[in-house]
Amino acid sequence: MIRVAVVDDEQLVRSGLRMILGTAQDIEVVADCGGGAAVDTVRGCAPDVVLLDIRMPDVDGLTVLRALRRLPHPPAVAMLTTFDADEYLAAALRAGASGFLLKDTDPEQLVRAVRTLAAGASVLDPGVTRAVIGGYLAAEAETTAASAVQALTPREREVLAHLGAGLANPQIAERMGLAPSTVKDHVRAVLGKLGGVNRVQAAVVADRAGLVATRHPADAAPPNGGAR
């Protein structure tokens, strides 16, 4: 069972997300709250995935995200936004967000996205991809990371392309005909060569480098497995 916590300042949004995710037999919304109570709530219920509003009046989503990433066992965090060009997106990516979703995401896509996040892969809604890439790659450090793609081996570039498509380790292993442990080693090497980035940041670099022909923002993944 995938455990999910929803953090949003609007009760109506929290109720709506709880209702949508409640239709999936393998997903349980274990908590929902506003930003001020987010860290204590997540610490208490230990969810696998947190859906976090990026803009809240009491405490902004970036502050909550950074606090969640400092927990001993941080969950995968997907940022929720109403805007497809939110200036906070690039900052959230640098802070360790595992994905980005628009609040009006199709219900079925939302369920698939949660499963993908729980499997350790990344989620980039097509509606926010351009904003994320543009903001993230504008910084010098990320431009340097993109140029590091040239230093990857052919197999590592193939792994990076699969990360760009949002695939979890078991899916990459199946597509490449490799053992999951081997894929895990390759992923670790790729992330290290790109400057210690996380999986979402690597996905953005893959997209910018032209390694991703077709983006699959919520490619269904098994609820168990993968490396976060």
Q: What are the DSSP calls for 38-73, one per residue?
A: HHHHHHHH--SEEEEES--SSS-HHHHHHHHHTSSS
pLDDT of 39 above 90: yes
Of the listed ranges 45-54, 73-82, 176-185, 187-196, the least confidently predicted one is 187-196
CB 91 within 8 A of CB 48: no
Q: Which residue from 19, 207, 206, 212 is spatially nearest to 111, judged by alpha carbons? A: 19
What's the gap between Cα 121 and its chain centre? 7
Place of tokens 């390759």: 186
Average pLDDT over every residue of 64-70? 95
pLDDT of 17 above 70: yes
Interior CA angle at 18 toward 103 and 119, to 5°?
80
Going from the C-alpha of 105 to that of each of 61, 98, 102, 108, the distances in angstroms are 19, 16, 5, 8
Residue 120 zone, left/alpha/beta (φ > 0; ψ -120 to 50; rest): left
Average pLDDT over every residue of 11-16? 94
Tokens, residue 19: 């209702």
High-pLDDT (> 70) share of the chain, %: 82
Interior CA angle at 166 toward 207 and 111, to 5°?
135
Sheet holding 123-124, edge to edge: 27-33, 2-7, 49-53, 76-81, 99-102, 123-124
Instruction: Look at residue 140 in the predicted model and tell me its pLDDT.
Output: 47
Query: In order of start, what are the domains of the chain with their CATH numbers?
Result: 2-134 (3.40.50.2300), 140-208 (1.10.10.10)
55 or 71: whose pLDDT is higher? 71
| Type and span of the H or E element at 98 | none
pLDDT of 18 above 80: yes
Find the Cα–Cα–Cα–Cα dihedral 205, 209, 210, 213, rounded to 10°. Answer: -20
pTM of the prediction? 0.67
Going from the C-alpha of 181 to that of each of 63, 69, 86, 122, the distances in angstroms are 34, 25, 37, 19
137 or 109: whose pLDDT is higher? 109
Gap between the Cα atoms of 112 and 124, Å rounded: 12
Gap between the Cα atoms of 64 and 66, Å rounded: 6
pLDDT of 212 above 50: yes
What's the pLDDT band for 124 if we cut at 50, 70, 90?
confident
